[in-house]
């Protein structure tokens, strides 16, 4: 058998060729077939994408779309409560965001702020279904496993750097948290197969473990183990299978996996190599460290990275009581890291070709569950008509009528606001609504993927945006 | 008699022509179909409306399908040809309605040719087909005549395949040696590797019938057999011990019922009947997964039922037809709704692409030739009728679907491929039909099918080896296809070789508590997930056969496998093998069902050193488990 080269310097093209061979193999079994139809892919304005996921429902009026401020005053009617934070100025004259986001305010001149994102109500507001919808573009349940948008990028665009996994998911535990099965349902390559699924790094501070020998195994032993394996391969008595396609393809995958560990890119996973100043600038939270990790991974060639504040039912953005207090913490958790990430990418000349998106599954409101007129069950646990104690103070109901998405870099306009919501309740979108399909179409278009890109699964067409109908929001492109 | 009929038909067609002549003022000579019309249809319509493609429900394969029309009804107007839908869509200026939707469409001259052809009665050349109509599988069972056995190769499968190979002048695959057969048959029938003692005794056994005795022994090992086939059925019935919908009480396990049914080797027809018309203990499959809130009309529980029953038991994909008439096969929206309505508790309103049609579905089953479901009966009786029709003795599709799945599991590729697309032509109709009849004649005993396959020379042959990814079109049988260990088989093998299987299982089933766990009985973990165990949110009937890079990363340095190996090495160290040679030999036999070659033994001894530490054993284990020889079942 031809010895497999372990040299990390092996030419990229060769590796890509091998990788595509594995992908072809995946096509063999039950896998989707690309459309015979020629789709003209748009010219990309971004090469990499970082999704900063505010899982749990980030309230727009408490973050990027401030409304009339209601301070905590005992006895004040809850119906008067639109925002619990005053608005502050940003680096753009006509853009105000909420107090607590002062650092992000300074970089809003690099941002496109969509204030008119809308989601369907789905009859019942369930994070799992809305998150599935946001991440795949399809409302669950589906008859086939829908791929995550990161998997679409991995599938259509492939890795930017062949040693770096194309789709990396940071900060979300998939075991031991509530609704973990529901999270797993969309954190997947779906019908594209695991080749295009995420590399999961639930704890950014331990990310380097993913590219290190297993715990307790020193590098010397690890490479000896590998060398021993290679000798076993070289001396296999089954010489008739030396050129067998399945065997060769399995060995190639093992080789690719091994290569990442010895590649210089592996260092990008190790936050321990960062200076104290840098680590502190990103804050101690998993999200902050995740942002730093995302910066490094994109710098070293990752295609799509998601970093989340982590969705855990009733935690973080998912405030069903004491919302204001939790928001103060969430502001601290995201403000520094997001601002620093943007500035760092800019300094590294990466921001122009990296699309950074801050998004969430829906917004929140103090009074309305769903959209006006929705029959969804009211899920606030702090029910009161007037503010009596701090637990009543905050936006405790899921609102799908208008939420904010912030986008930086990647060909988006700078210091631009798209769409608006009403200033009086209901805080629904009053101008230029952007659906999930259209938002995805915008993201995909920026990445050079047509929203109509289609693969066949079980002989049926399956599109990058639902039924191929997503239309990119032209106005947000610079 | 024949002459009379001919003269009548000539008269009537002349009559039709006269009528046309009266309607149309200036009738040019009708365009020639073959030379003028067919090329236009081929160029502009064929991509979406021939072979298996039926966009908008319209097929132009042949005259019949063309005249049948589309979802919107006939495309030719019966009395006013100038009002034909066909003419409207090829000539309209409305970009959204125009056909073909892509490109510039027909030019004026082409539109005029089609118009004249339609005005002249849209006559096809008799028997002419733009494309051969898609294969339509037969409904009824068929008992093929078996070809004469060649030599001692009397197994009916071999009689059919030998005849097939001879006819195609293809070589007979080489026979499989004892140890490879032993390993393959163990994994295929009970999902476990043969233990070292079995490897020794089987290879030493000189009796002629040892292979068939082994097959019988494995099939008789009820617990091991059930533990293994539980994975197969969990995939097909999307049953699991955790999964989406559980928090919402949206799904119900059928694990207890299922385990017992496999254990008792419940006849397959009875198994199907009980799942189609379930009781409280196994209704989880029929009920599907219920999500809170509004969902697509194509995913309401009755429609999930139609899809699941269609896919799992008949190999029919009703997912397209749940939303609109299928573009790719014969199934229509009304048929999917008919099946769904059998299960529905209340009158079922029909939706097309999530828009109400104003029609109410009528409970009906897919093949009325065999009998019908009485829509006026209460639900439980309708389900019983459906169960009887699906397992009707004259319904060959149910046994064909399951024998094809078993063949695929054992031989690596279905006789019909893929296994959920039973509308596709089999590569050998006799083989498929024979296996199906064999199953029904053996009272739907699935173990008999497995026994028959495992006893064939075809099964006991070397698997096909190829240098490039094979193309599935124009498939020819050249031997079994190699399979990769499933996530469960891989997990079990590690536990088995090291003796480290856990004691406690997650599945709520009635099983001997003293027996160690099997992976099929455990909740999925991240390693099993990466190795291809599906989420079971959908029915997934085929596992991925290739190792993806991300899976390889989990094998290379992932924590779950590493912990298993740490634990395994400790357990092996504690077993006090007398020498590193003995340990090496044990591991080769246990993992690869063969002895190490002298070269391999030397390597192993160097790796282990004179006094093997747990770490040295652990790394040897890893090396063995990563070998394609370990992970690919040949």
To which H or E segment does residue B243 belong? none
- Residue in A with minimal Cα distance to B304: A143
Q: pLDDT value at position B47?
A: 80
Q: Quick check: bond before A157 cis, omega within 30?
A: no
Average pLDDT over residues B587-598: 96
Q: Cβ contacts (< 8 Å) between A165 and chain B: which residues?
A: 549-550, 553
B175 to each of B150, B218, B456, B465, B595, how far by Cα in Å? 15, 21, 11, 14, 20
What distance in Å separates residue A472's CA from the closest CA in chain B?
Answer: 20
What distance in Å separates residue A133's CA from the closest CA in chain B?
Answer: 12
- Of B258, B255, B254, B260, the C-alpha closest to B288 is B254
Average pLDDT over residues B484-501: 97
Residue A199 CB-density burial (10 A; 0-12 exposed, 13-18 middle, 19+ buried)? buried
Question: Residue A256: which of B291, B484, B552 has the nearest Cβ?
Answer: B552
Q: pLDDT value at position B5?
A: 37
Q: Cβ contacts (< 8 Å) between B557 and chain A: which residues?
A: 210-214, 222, 261
What distance in Å separates residue B524's CA from the closest CA in chain A?
Answer: 10
The 10 Å Cβ neighbour count of residue B371 is: 14
Taking an 8 Å cut-off on Cβ atoms, the answer to whether B557 and A188 are in contact is no
> Which of A191, A225, A373 to probe the B interface (max B CBs under 10 A)?
A225
Q: Cβ contacts (< 8 Å) between B248 and chain A: which residues?
A: 126
- Of B60, B61, B126, the C-alpha closest to B99 is B60
> Which of A257, A302, A312 to probe the B interface (max B CBs under 10 A)?
A257
> A334 pLDDT exceeds 70?
yes
- Under DSSP, the state recorded for B150 is B
Strand order of the β-sheet with A454-457 is A33-34, A454-457, A460-463
User: pLDDT-derived band of residue A17, with 50, 70 and 90 as boundaries?
Assistant: very low
Taking an 8 Å cut-off on Cβ atoms, the answer to whether A236 and B627 are in contact is yes
Q: Cβ contacts (< 8 Å) between A123 and chain B: which residues?
A: 292-294
Average pLDDT over residues A49-77: 97
Taking an 8 Å cut-off on Cβ atoms, the answer to whether A143 and B289 are in contact is no
> A332 pLDDT exceeds 80?
yes
> A353 pLDDT exceeds 80?
yes
The two three-digit tokens of residue B526, written as one number: 């991240």
Q: pLDDT value at position B132?
A: 67
Q: pLDDT value at position B59?
A: 81
Average pLDDT over residues B549-563: 93
Pairing relationship of beta strands A48-53 and A354-359 according to DSSP bridges: parallel
- Average pLDDT of chain B, as a whole number: 90
Pairing relationship of beta strands A87-89 and A429-431 according to DSSP bridges: unpaired
> B435 pLDDT exceeds 50?
yes
What distance in Å separates residue A244's CA from the closest CA in chain B?
Answer: 5
DSSP-H helix ranges across B205-348: 210-220, 222-236, 255-263, 268-276, 283-287, 301-314, 333-343
User: Does residue B91 or residue A20 have the better pLDDT?
Assistant: B91
Question: Residue A182: which of B244, B624, B629 has the nearest Cβ?
Answer: B244
> B37 pLDDT exceeds 90?
no
Taking an 8 Å cut-off on Cβ atoms, the answer to whether B553 and A260 are in contact is yes
Question: Residue A256: which of B543, B549, B615 has the nearest Cβ?
Answer: B549
User: Does residue A269 or residue B537 have the better pLDDT?
Assistant: A269
In chain A, the percentage of residues whose pLDDT exceeds 70 is 92
Taking an 8 Å cut-off on Cβ atoms, the answer to whether A199 and B550 are in contact is yes
Q: What is the ipTM of this complex?
A: 0.84
The two three-digit tokens of residue A440, written as one number: 């995805």
B223 to each of A370, B263, B448, how far by Cα in Å? 50, 7, 17
Question: Residue A250: which of B47, B102, B628 has the nearest Cβ?
Answer: B628
What distance in Å separates residue A264's CA from the closest CA in chain B?
Answer: 17
> Which of A19, A20, A29 to probe the B interface (max B CBs under 10 A)?
A29
DSSP string, B552-580: HHHHHH-HHHHHHHHHHHHHHHHT--SSH
Question: Residue B319: which of A143, A179, A233 has the nearest Cβ?
Answer: A143
To which H or E segment does residue A381 belong? none
Question: Residue A253: which of B537, B548, B603 has the nearest Cβ?
Answer: B548
Taking an 8 Å cut-off on Cβ atoms, the answer to whether B328 and A179 are in contact is no
Q: pLDDT value at position A359?
A: 98
**What CA–CA distance (Å, rounded) separates B119 from B111?**
12
B401 to each of A401, B397, B474, B573, how far by Cα in Å? 47, 6, 21, 48
- Which tens digit of pLDDT belongs to each residue from A91-148? 999 999 999 999 999 999 999 999 999 999 888 888 989 999 999 999 988 888 999 9
Q: How many CB pairs under 8 A join A and B?
A: 235
Question: Residue B530: which of A181, A194, A458 has the nearest Cβ?
Answer: A194
Question: Residue A245: which of B328, B468, B627 has the nearest Cβ?
Answer: B468
Taking an 8 Å cut-off on Cβ atoms, the answer to whether A194 and B551 are in contact is yes
| Coil, strand or helix at B145 | coil
Taking an 8 Å cut-off on Cβ atoms, the answer to whether A145 and B535 are in contact is yes
Spell out the residues 6+ positions from residue B287 whose beta carbon is closer than 8 angstroms to its own. B251, B252, B301, B305
The residue written with tokens 């998405």 in the block is A405
**What CA–CA distance (Å, rounded) separates A50 from A447?**
11
Question: Residue B550: which of A165, A241, A247 has the nearest Cβ?
Answer: A165
Taking an 8 Å cut-off on Cβ atoms, the answer to whether B291 and A129 are in contact is yes
Q: pLDDT value at position B544?
A: 87
DSSP string, A32-58: -EE-SSPP-PPPPS-SEEEEEE-TT--
Spell out the residues 6+ positions from residue B427 whose beta carbon is closer than 8 angstroms to its own. B415, B416, B417, B475, B476, B477
- Average pLDDT of chain A, as a whole number: 90
Q: pLDDT value at position B244?
A: 67
Q: pLDDT value at position B546?
A: 87
Per CATH, the number for A31-214+255-476 is 3.40.720.10
Taking an 8 Å cut-off on Cβ atoms, the answer to whether B557 and A212 are in contact is yes
The residue written with tokens 């067919």 in the block is B38
- Which tens digit of pLDDT belongs to each residue from B185-216? 999 999 999 999 999 999 999 999 999 999 99
**What CA–CA distance (Å, rounded) separates A98 from A334?**
13
First to last CA, chain B: 63
**What CA–CA distance (Å, rounded) separates B405 from B363?**
29
Taking an 8 Å cut-off on Cβ atoms, the answer to whether B547 and A254 are in contact is yes
What distance in Å separates residue A194's CA from the closest CA in chain B?
Answer: 6
Q: pLDDT value at position A34?
A: 52
**What CA–CA distance (Å, rounded) separates B239 from B148?**
44
Strand-pairing partners, residue B355, are B352
Taking an 8 Å cut-off on Cβ atoms, the answer to whether A195 and B421 are in contact is no
Taking an 8 Å cut-off on Cβ atoms, the answer to whether B557 and A210 are in contact is yes
- Under DSSP, the state recorded for A420 is E
What distance in Å separates residue B45's CA from the closest CA in chain A?
Answer: 14
> A347 pLDDT exceeds 80?
yes
What distance in Å separates residue A424's CA from the closest CA in chain B?
Answer: 28
Taking an 8 Å cut-off on Cβ atoms, the answer to whether A139 and B629 are in contact is no
In chain A, the percentage of residues whose pLDDT exceeds 90 is 77
Q: pLDDT value at position B26?
A: 39
**What CA–CA distance (Å, rounded) separates A141 from B319?**
13
- Residue in A with minimal Cα distance to B559: A214
Residue A183 CB-density burial (10 A; 0-12 exposed, 13-18 middle, 19+ buried)? buried
**What CA–CA distance (Å, rounded) separates A294 from A308?**
11
Q: Quick check: bond before A271 cis, omega within 30?
A: no
Q: pLDDT value at position A60?
A: 98
Q: Cβ contacts (< 8 Å) between A369 and chain B: which residues?
A: none
In chain B, the percentage of residues whose pLDDT exceeds 90 is 69
User: pLDDT-derived band of residue A13, with 50, 70 and 90 as boundaries?
Assistant: very low
- Which tens digit of pLDDT belongs to each residue from A167-190? 999 999 998 888 888 899 999 999
Question: Residue A232: which of B322, B465, B603 has the nearest Cβ?
Answer: B603
User: pLDDT-derived band of residue A373, with 50, 70 and 90 as boundaries?
Assistant: confident
Average pLDDT over residues B425-453: 98
Taking an 8 Å cut-off on Cβ atoms, the answer to whether A256 and B307 are in contact is no
Strand-pairing partners, residue A296, are none
In chain B, the percentage of residues whose pLDDT exceeds 70 is 94
Structural domain spans, chain A: 31-214+255-476
Residue A200 phi/psi, 5° resolution? Answer: -95, 125
Spell out the residues 6+ positions from residue A400 whose beta carbon is closer than 8 angstroms to its own. A118, A119, A120, A121, A125, A130, A362, A363, A370, A371, A374
> Which of B303, B472, B549, B626 to probe the A interface (max A CBs under 10 A)?
B549
- Which tens digit of pLDDT belongs to each residue from B264-323? 999 999 999 999 999 999 999 999 988 888 888 999 999 999 999 999 999 999 998 998
User: pLDDT-derived band of residue A38, with 50, 70 and 90 as boundaries?
Assistant: low
Q: Cβ contacts (< 8 Å) between B599 and chain A: which residues?
A: 235
- Which tens digit of pLDDT belongs to each residue from B110-161? 888 888 888 888 888 777 777 766 688 999 999 999 999 999 999 999 999 9
Taking an 8 Å cut-off on Cβ atoms, the answer to whether A249 and B546 are in contact is yes
What distance in Å separates residue B466's CA from the closest CA in chain A?
Answer: 5
What distance in Å separates residue B600's CA from the closest CA in chain A?
Answer: 7
Average pLDDT over residues B542-559: 91
What distance in Å separates residue B317's CA from the closest CA in chain A?
Answer: 8
The three-point CA angle B256-B215-B510 to 5° equals 15
- Of B136, B138, B152, B160, the C-alpha closest to B438 is B160
Taking an 8 Å cut-off on Cβ atoms, the answer to whether B549 and A213 are in contact is no
Structural domain spans, chain B: 2-119, 294-390, 487-633
What distance in Å separates residue B174's CA from the closest CA in chain A?
Answer: 13
Taking an 8 Å cut-off on Cβ atoms, the answer to whether A174 and B526 are in contact is yes
């Amino acid at each position: 058998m031809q010895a497999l080269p372990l040299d990390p310097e092996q030419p990229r093209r060769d590796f890509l060729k091998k990788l595509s061979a594995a992908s072809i193999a995946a096509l063999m079994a039950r896998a989707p077939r690309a459309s015979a139809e020629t789709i003209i892919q748009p010219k990309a304005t971004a090469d990499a994408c970082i999704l900063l996921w505010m899982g749990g429902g980030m309230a727009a009026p408490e973050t990027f779309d401030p409304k009339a401020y209601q301070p905590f005053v005992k006895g004040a009617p809850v119906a008067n409560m639109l925002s619990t934070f005053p608005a502050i100025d940003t680096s753009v004259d006509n853009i105000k965001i909420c107090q607590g986001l002062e650092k992000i305010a300074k970089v809003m001149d690099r941002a496109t702020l969509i204030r008119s994102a809308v989601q369907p109500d789905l009859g019942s507001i369930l994070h799992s279904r809305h998150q599935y919808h946001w991440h795949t573009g399809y409302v669950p349940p589906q008859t086939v496993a829908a791929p995550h948008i990161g998997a679409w990028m991995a599938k259509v665009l492939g890795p930017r750097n062949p040693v770096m996994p194309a789709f990396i998911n940071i900060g979300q535990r998939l075991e031991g948290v509530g609704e973990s099965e529901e999270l797993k349902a969309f954190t997947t390559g779906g019908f594209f197969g695991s080749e295009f699924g995420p590399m999961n790094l639930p704890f950014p501070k331990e990310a380097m473990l993913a590219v290190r020998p297993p715990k307790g195994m020193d590098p010397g032993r690890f490479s000896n183990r590998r060398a021993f394996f290679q000798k076993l391969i070289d001396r296999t008595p089954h010489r008739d299978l030396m050129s067998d396609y399945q065997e060769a393809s399995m060995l190639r995958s093992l080789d690719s996996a091994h290569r990442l560990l010895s590649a210089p890119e592996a260092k990008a996973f190790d936050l321990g190599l960062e200076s104290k100043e840098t680590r502190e600038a990103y804050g101690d939270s998993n999200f902050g460290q995740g942002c730093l990790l995302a910066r490094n991974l994109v710098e070293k060639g990752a295609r799509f990275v998601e970093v989340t504040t982590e969705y855990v039912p009733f935690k973080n953005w998912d405030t069903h009581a004491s919302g204001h207090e939790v928001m103060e913490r969430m502001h601290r958790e995201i403000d520094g890291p997001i601002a620093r990430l943007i500035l760092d990418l800019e300094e590294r000349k990466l921001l122009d070709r990296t699309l950074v998106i801050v998004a969430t599954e829906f917004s929140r409101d103090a009074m309305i569950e769903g959209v006006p007129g929705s029959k969804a069950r009211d899920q606030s646990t702090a029910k009161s008509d007037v503010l009596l104690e701090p637990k009543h103070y905050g936006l405790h109901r899921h609102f799908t009528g208008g939420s904010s998405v912030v986008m930086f870099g990647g060909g988006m306009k700078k210091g631009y606001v798209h769409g608006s919501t009403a200033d009086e309740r209901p805080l629904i979108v009053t101008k230029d609504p952007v659906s999930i399909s259209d938002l995805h179409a915008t993201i995909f278009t920026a990445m050079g993927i047509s929203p109509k890109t289609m693969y066949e699964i079980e002989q049926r067409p399956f599109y990058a945006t639902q039924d191929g109908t997503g239309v990119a929001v032209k106005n947000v492109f610079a | 008699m024949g002459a009379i009929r001919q003269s009548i038909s000539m008269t009537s067609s002349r009559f039709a022509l006269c009528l046309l002549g009266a309607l149309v003022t200036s009738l040019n000579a009708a365009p020639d179909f073959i030379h003028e019309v067919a090329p236009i249809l081929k160029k502009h319509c064929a991509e979406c409306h021939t072979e298996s493609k039926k966009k908008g429900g319209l097929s132009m394969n042949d005259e019949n399908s063309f005249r049948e029309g589309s979802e919107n009804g006939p495309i030719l107007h019966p009395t006013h040809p100038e009002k034909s839908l066909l003419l409207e869509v090829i000539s309209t200026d409305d970009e959204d309605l125009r056909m073909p939707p892509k490109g510039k469409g027909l030019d004026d001259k082409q539109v005029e040719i089609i118009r004249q052809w339609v005005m002249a009665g849209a006559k096809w050349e008799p028997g002419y087909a733009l494309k051969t109509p898609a294969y339509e599988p037969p409904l009824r069972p068929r008992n093929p005549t078996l070809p004469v056995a060649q030599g001692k190769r009397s197994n009916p499968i071999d009689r059919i395949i030998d005849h097939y190979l001879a006819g195609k002048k293809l070589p007979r695959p080489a026979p499989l040696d004892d140890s490879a057969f032993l390993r393959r048959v163990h994994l295929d029938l009970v999902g476990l590797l043969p233990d070292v003692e079995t490897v020794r005794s089987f290879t030493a056994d000189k009796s002629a019938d040892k292979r068939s005795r082994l097959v019988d022994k494995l099939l008789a090992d009820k617990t091991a057999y059930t533990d293994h086939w539980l994975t197969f059925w969990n995939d097909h019935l999307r049953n699991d011990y955790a999964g989406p919908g559980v928090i919402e009480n949206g799904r119900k396990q059928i694990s207890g019922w299922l385990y017992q049914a496999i254990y008792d080797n419940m006849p397959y027809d009875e198994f199907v009947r009980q799942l189609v018309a379930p009781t409280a203990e196994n209704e989880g499959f029929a009920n599907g997964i219920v999500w809170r809130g509004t969902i697509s009309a194509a995913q309401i529980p009755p429609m999930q039922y139609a899809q699941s029953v269609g896919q799992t038991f008949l190999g029919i994909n009703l997912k397209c037809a749940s939303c609109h008439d299928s573009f790719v096969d014969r199934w229509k929206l009304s048929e999917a709704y008919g099946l769904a309505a059998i299960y529905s508790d209340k009158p079922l309103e029909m939706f097309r692409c999530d828009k109400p049609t104003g029609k109410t579905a009528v409970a009906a089953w897919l093949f009325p030739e065999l009998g019908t479901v009485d829509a006026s009966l209460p639900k439980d009786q309708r389900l019983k009728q459906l169960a009887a029709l699906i397992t009707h003795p004259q319904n060959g599709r149910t046994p064909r679907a399951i024998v094809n799945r078993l063949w695929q599991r054992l031989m690596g590729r279905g006789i019909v491929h893929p296994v959920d697309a039973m509308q596709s032509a089999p590569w050998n109709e006799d083989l498929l039909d024979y296996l199906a009849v064999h199953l029904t004649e053996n009272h739907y005993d699935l173990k008999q099918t497995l026994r028959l396959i495992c006893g064939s020379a075809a099964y006991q042959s070397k698997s096909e080896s190829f240098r490039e990814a094979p193309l599935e079109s124009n498939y020819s049988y050249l031997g079994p296809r190699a399979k990769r260990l499933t996530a469960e088989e891989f997990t079990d093998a590690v536990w088995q070789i090291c003796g480290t299987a856990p004691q406690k299982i997650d599945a709520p089933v009635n099983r001997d508590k003293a027996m160690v766990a099997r992976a099929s009985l455990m909740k999925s973990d991240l390693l099993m997930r990466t190795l291809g165990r599906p989420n079971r949110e959908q029915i997934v009937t085929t596992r991925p056969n290739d190792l993806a890079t991300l899976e390889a990363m989990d094998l290379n340095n992932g924590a779950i496998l590493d912990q298993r190996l740490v634990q395994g090495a400790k357990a092996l160290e504690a077993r006090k093998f007398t020498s590193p040679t003995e340990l090496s030999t044990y591991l080769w036999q246990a993992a690869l069902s063969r002895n190490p070659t002298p070269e391999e033994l030397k390597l192993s001894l160097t790796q282990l050193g004179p006094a093997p530490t747990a770490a040295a054993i652990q790394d040897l284990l890893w090396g063995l488990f990563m070998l394609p020889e370990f992970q690919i079942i040949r």
